[in-house]
């Protein structure tokens, strides 16, 4: 089997993803869902005039019975006529993703449940539990400051009993430049008192306190499941300069003795930094996630850069798709195309053997995730 065919045939494990959209969005809603921006495109412009917009028209259109590069209006009309469930069925099954590890801490309104997504995709679904969501649910249910630490630990163990991993969005809530040391019990109680008091007064339980976010991270690491950290590119709620994975080096060093895999997610445009961390620390892994569907025709460059410093055993496939199943499909397709072209060039110039290229592609596609998340025991 040649390299292109071998990579096309690989079943993928998407180790970080969100539920796909079941509903049929309006044209304006769809455009908003294919950008990390939180406001409509500038007047007389469209989000389709972007790498992801072109990729949708080129690669997704044929799965909806349209010609490649169908006009945006035609694409959206056809999408509406088919209905959200049928669009999702075609795109999710067409992706070749056989296992989704789903972060349930954030989903678009009208998304599939986990059971529904398993049915429509024909794939196995596992859950990733978000630390901040567990803490906020505990606060909303009623919890005293002095008991927060112990009760969060108990709630996390219970909530993650069937999960394959945990996730933190500390990059959004504070930044990755947090104090890497675990907080003391007194610090946790004092911080919980301020947070819970403010939540009761305002009715808003969103957790942004650095002390408590650190406590969540350390408790999550002690849970023993792989710990995912958002890094790099995201929406406007994020200070990008404080989301460089290099800022986590102190925490990574201190948590290393626990032996828990730490997954640096997304990473772009700091993916080379993430690759350096993956080389230095034995417990650190990374992906480039949503960077591939947002960079579209430039995905080759991103894939090549991930393969520079990092051991190949530390790179994972992820789409980080959220909402439209076009993003799940493109994450897989663009990874396959970019990986085949990058590795193919190295085979052609004599730097790699074809057998090694196929083996490394398979590691990234599913093997590394299976090992790091111990998925064989959960099949």
Q: What's the mean per-residue pLDDT of the chain?
A: 96
pLDDT of amino acid 1: 75
Q: What are phi and psi of 95, to 5 degrees?
A: -75, -25
pLDDT of 21-61, one tens digit each?
999 999 999 999 999 988 888 999 999 999 999 999 999 99
Contact 311, 329 (CB under 8 A): no
Tell me the C-alpha distance between 151 and 321, whole Å. Answer: 32
Tell me the C-alpha distance between 79 and 325, whole Å. Answer: 11
Two tokens, residue 208:
């942004």
> Does residue 80 carry a pLDDT above 90?
yes
Contact 30, 48 (CB under 8 A): no
| pLDDT-based confidence at residue 354 (cuts at 50, 70, 90) | very high
Contact 33, 118 (CB under 8 A): no
Domains of the chain: 3-21+84-378 (3.20.20.140), 25-82 (no CATH)
Tell me the C-alpha distance between 31 and 50, whole Å. Answer: 11
First to last CA, the chain: 28
Tell me the C-alpha distance between 326 and 21, whole Å. Answer: 10
| pLDDT-based confidence at residue 321 (cuts at 50, 70, 90) | very high
Tell me the C-alpha distance between 87 and 65, whole Å. Answer: 11
H/E stretch holding 164: none
Contact 319, 332 (CB under 8 A): yes
pLDDT of amino acid 106: 85
| pLDDT-based confidence at residue 378 (cuts at 50, 70, 90) | confident
> Does residue 240 carry a pLDDT above 80?
yes
> Does residue 7 carry a pLDDT above 90?
yes
pLDDT of 103-132, one tens digit each?
999 887 899 999 999 999 999 999 999 999
| pLDDT-based confidence at residue 198 (cuts at 50, 70, 90) | very high
Contact 15, 374 (CB under 8 A): no
For the residues 350-364, what does the mean pLDDT come to?
98
User: How many Cα atoms sit within 13 Å of 231 on the Cβ side?
Assistant: 29
pLDDT of 202-222, one tens digit each?
889 999 999 999 999 999 999
Alpha helices in 239-324 (DSSP H): 249-255, 271-280, 291-295, 299-306
Using the 8-state DSSP alphabet, how is residue 148 labeled? H
pLDDT of 250-271, one tens digit each?
999 999 999 999 999 999 999 9
């Amino acid at each position: 089997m040649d390299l292109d065919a071998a990579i096309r045939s690989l079943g993928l494990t998407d180790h970080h993803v969100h539920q796909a959209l079941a509903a049929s969005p309006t044209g304006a809603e769809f455009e908003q869902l294919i950008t990390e921006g939180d406001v409509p495109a500038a007047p007389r412009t469209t989000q389709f005039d972007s790498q992801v917009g072109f990729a949708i028209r080129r690669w997704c259109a044929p799965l909806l019975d349209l010609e490649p590069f169908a006009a945006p209006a035609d694409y959206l009309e056809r999408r509406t006529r088919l209905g959200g469930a049928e669009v999702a069925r075609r795109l999710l099954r067409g992706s070749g993703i056989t296992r989704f590890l789903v972060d349930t801490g954030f989903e678009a309104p009208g998304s599939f449940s986990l059971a529904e997504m398993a049915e429509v995709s024909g794939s196995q679904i596992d859950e990733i539990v978000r630390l901040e969501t567990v803490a906020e649910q505990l606060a909303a249910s009623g919890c005293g400051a002095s008991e927060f630490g112990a009760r969060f630990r108990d709630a996390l163990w219970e909530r993650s009993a069937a999960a394959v991993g945990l996730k933190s969005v500390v990059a959004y809530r504070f930044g990755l430049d947090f104090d890497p040391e675990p907080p003391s019990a007194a610090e946790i109680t004092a911080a919980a008192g301020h947070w819970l008091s403010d939540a009761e007064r305002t009715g808003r339980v969103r957790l942004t306190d650095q002390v408590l976010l650190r406590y969540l991270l350390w408790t999550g690491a002690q849970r023993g499941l792989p710990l995912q950290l958002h890094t790099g590119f995201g929406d406007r709620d994020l200070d990008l300069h404080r989301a460089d994975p290099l800022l986590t080096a102190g925490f990574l060093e201190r948590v290393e003795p626990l032996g828990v895999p730490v997954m640096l997610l997304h990473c772009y445009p700091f993916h080379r930094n993430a690759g350096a961390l993956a080389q230095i620390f034995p417990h650190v892994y990374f992906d480039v996630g949503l960077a591939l569907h947002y960079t579209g025709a430039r995905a080759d460059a991103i894939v090549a850069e991930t393969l520079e410093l990092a051991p190949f055993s530390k790179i994972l496939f992820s789409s980080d798709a959220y909402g439209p199943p076009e993003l799940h499909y493109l994450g897989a397709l663009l990874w396959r195309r970019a990986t085949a072209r990058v590795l193919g060039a190295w085979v052609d110039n004599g730097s790699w053997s074809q057998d090694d290229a196929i083996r490394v592609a398979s590691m990234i596609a599913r093997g590394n995730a299976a090992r790091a998340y111990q998925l064989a025991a959960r099949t």
